[in-house]
């Protein structure tokens, strides 16, 4: 075996020449004359290492024990003396480089073979033998939350986004809003009372007490049919609002309904329920209008003179001062009630029907009608109308309970009353009917689900899952 290293030969140095370096005696001479790079001295005040005429001895061929760190004394030992150096006259620089490279490869291979076993043994020993500095104690599976961690969790909950704002911002904005409402309400009450205590305010209330005079032909009291109409209107409106908001926020329809004559015209079961409820509400409203004008009950909620407006202002001032006007709905309504009932029955309700019809598939596909009444306008109006009904119902119920709950509930739910406001002030019949109607409506709203509605929908068409 040739002891000379097999050097890699490259391209010739001159055109048409031999590959470089040549394989002859000059190779050793050129390699031996290669200058070794010198670094910092090994001892303070010494010469740069290694010396020009000497080279470091070859590294030992036996690999060091893997997994064992060298001793600190060996790492910081003094540099070897010159007598441990081998003159480079016997071994060339290329041979020394190849020898070091071979030794490094052998050392790395030996470490790679023994390193996994050594690391596994060390890990096993470390697990089997507890550390003397740390006593062996059983740690709980779930560490107890520290106060800092609890505070961070609370911070994360308050910092979580709910829509456009975080929970902290919603709470802060809500508190500021409630405080502002109470402040404005207090200012309105104080300002109204100040005005009513003046001569102008007192004269205005004396002239317009808030109760406009009704025609002599106006009926007295509330008939039974009107009490039933009132309950049915409340019942249908609750379901209509529930299904309407379900349509708006529904991402995937639970089922679909199609007419028997046209199976391809499918709509979601929620839309079908909403349309059926709309139809029942419209039928109930039609019966209400017929009976309202047939029995002259319309004069109780339709303005018949311009005096209604100052009476409405007077009633509003009395409400704002918390000195509410004397009410007896069995005989008449005050000016503000009359205007609100007229606006709700004769303006808002027909607008709800018109916008709902335009958005439904029952609207004719005439391009002229579509241009005159665009569906975008109907969509923009329909949701505010639904919100108006919600707000009106809440305020209406609050005022009923605040101005004599038993008397007012007897009027509208039991059709019982008297011109004397104290006659039915202690009668609970209307309250019982009101609770029964409320329970029936709430139960229907809760159980009006696709599983319950599907059998009824199959009576008029075909119900499918998709």
Residue 354 domain boundaries: 223-306+322-464
Percentage of the residues of the chain whose pLDDT score is greater than 90: 37
Give the count of domains, the chain.
Answer: 1
Question: Which of the four pLDDT bands, split at 50, 70 and 90, describes residue 340?
Answer: very high
Q: Is 237 contained in some domain? A: yes
pLDDT at 97 over 60: yes
pLDDT of residue 148: 55
Say which range, 18-32, 199-213, 434-448, has the weakest mean pLDDT.
18-32
Sign of CA dihedral 181, 186, 187, 193: positive
In a domain, 180, yes or no: no
Q: 442 pLDDT band (50/70/90 cuts)?
A: very high
Residue 263: its pLDDT value, please? 78
Q: What are the tens digits of pLDDT across the range 256-280?
A: 998 888 877 888 999 999 999 999 9
Average pLDDT over residues 98-113: 72
Asked whether residue 62 is domain-assigned, the answer is no
Average pLDDT over residues 366-385: 90
Query: Does 77 map to a domain?
Result: no
pLDDT of residue 95: 66
Q: Which pLDDT does position 145 carry in this prediction?
A: 52
Res 164 pLDDT > 80: no
CB 464 within 8 A of CB 256: yes
d(CA 292, CA 286) in angstroms, rounded, equals 10
Domain presence at residue 55: no
- Hey, how many other C-beta atoms are within 10 angstroms of the C-beta on 78? 7
User: What pLDDT is stored for residue 112 in this prediction?
Assistant: 65
Query: Is there a domain that residue 58 lies in?
Result: no
**Do 392 and 297 form a contact (C-beta atoms < 8 A)?**
no
| Residue 209 domain flag | no
- pLDDT score at 59: 44
Is 407 among the domain residues? yes
Per-residue three-class SS string for the chain: CCCCCCCCCECCCCCCCCCECCCCHHHHHHHHCCCCCCECCCCCCCCCECCCCEECCCCCCCCCCCCCCCCHHHHCCCCCCHHHCEECCCCCHHHHHHHHHHHHHHHHHHHHHHHHHHHHHHHHHHHHCCCCCCCCCCCCCCCCCCHHHHHHHHHHHHHCEECCEEHHHHHHHHHHHHHHHHHHHHHHHHHHHHHHCCHHHHHHHHHCCCCCCCCCCCCCCCCHHHHHHHHHHHHHHHHHHHHHHHHHHCCCCCCEEEECCCCCCCEEHHHHHHHHHHHHHHHHHHHHHHHHHHCCHHHHCCCCCCCHHHHHHHHHHHHHCCCCCCCECCCECCHHHHHHHHHHHHHHHHHHHHHHHHHCCCCCCCHHHHHHCCHHHHHHHHHHHHHHHHHHHHHHHHHHHHCCHHHHHHHHHCCCCCCCCCCCCCCCHHHHHHHHHHHHHHHHHHHCCHHHHHHHHHCCEEEECC
The pLDDT value given to residue 94: 62
- pLDDT band for position 54 (50/70/90)? low
The more confidently predicted of residues 3 and 229 is 229
Contact 323, 189 (CB under 8 A): no
Can you give the CATH number for the domain in which 425 is found? 1.20.950
């Amino acid at each position: 075996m040739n002891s000379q290293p097999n050097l890699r030969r490259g391209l010739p140095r001159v055109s048409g020449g031999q590959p470089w370096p040549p394989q002859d005696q000059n190779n050793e001479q050129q390699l031996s004359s290669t200058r070794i790079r010198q670094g910092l001295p090994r001892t303070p005040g010494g010469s740069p290492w290694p010396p020009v005429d000497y080279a470091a001895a070859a590294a030992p061929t036996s690999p060091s024990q893997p997994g064992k760190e060298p001793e600190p004394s060996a790492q910081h030992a003094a540099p070897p003396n010159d007598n441990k150096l081998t003159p480079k006259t016997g071994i060339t620089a290329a041979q020394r480089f190849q020898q070091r490279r071979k030794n490094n490869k052998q050392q790395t291979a030996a470490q790679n073979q023994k390193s996994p076993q050594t690391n596994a043994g060390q890990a096993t020993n470390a697990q089997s033998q507890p550390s003397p500095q740390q006593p062996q104690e059983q740690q709980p599976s779930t560490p107890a939350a520290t106060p800092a961690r609890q505070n961070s969790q609370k911070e994360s909950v308050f910092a979580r986004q709910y829509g456009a704002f975080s929970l902290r911002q919603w709470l802060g904005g809500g508190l500021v809003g409630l405080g502002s409402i109470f402040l404005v309400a207090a200012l309105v009450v104080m300002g109204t009372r100040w005005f009513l205590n003046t001569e102008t305010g007192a004269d205005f209330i004396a002239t317009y007490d808030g109760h406009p005079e009704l025609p002599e032909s106006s009926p007295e009291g509330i008939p039974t049919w009107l009490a039933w109409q009132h309950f049915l209107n409340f019942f249908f409106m609750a379901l209509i609002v529930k299904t309407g908001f379900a349509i708006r926020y529904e991402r995937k329809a639970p089922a679909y309904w199609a007419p028997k004559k046209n199976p391809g015209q499918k709509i979601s079961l929620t839309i079908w329920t909403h349309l059926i409820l709309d139809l029942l509400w419209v039928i109930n409203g039609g019966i209400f209008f017929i009976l309202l004008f047939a029995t002259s009950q319309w004069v109780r909620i339709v303005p018949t003179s311009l005096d209604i407006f100052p009476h409405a202002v007077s009633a509003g001032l009395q409400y704002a001062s918390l000195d509410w006007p004397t009410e007896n709905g069995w005989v008449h309504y005050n000016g503000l009630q009359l205007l609100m009932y007229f606006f709700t029955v004769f303006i808002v309700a027909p607008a709800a029907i018109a916008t709902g019809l335009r958005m439904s598939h029952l609207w004719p596909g005439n391009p002229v009608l579509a241009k005159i009444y665009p569906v975008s306008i109907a969509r923009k109006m329909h949701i505010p109308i639904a919100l108006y009904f919600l707000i009106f119902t809440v305020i209406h119920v609050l005022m009923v309970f605040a101005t004599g709950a038993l008397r007012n509930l007897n009027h509208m739910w039991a059709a019982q009353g008297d011109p004397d406001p104290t006659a039915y002030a202690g009668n609970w019949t209307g309250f019982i009917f009101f609770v029964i109607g409320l329970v029936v409506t709430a139960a229907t709203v809760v159980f009006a689900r696709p599983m319950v509605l599907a059998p009824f929908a199959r009576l008029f068409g075909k119900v499918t899952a998709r």
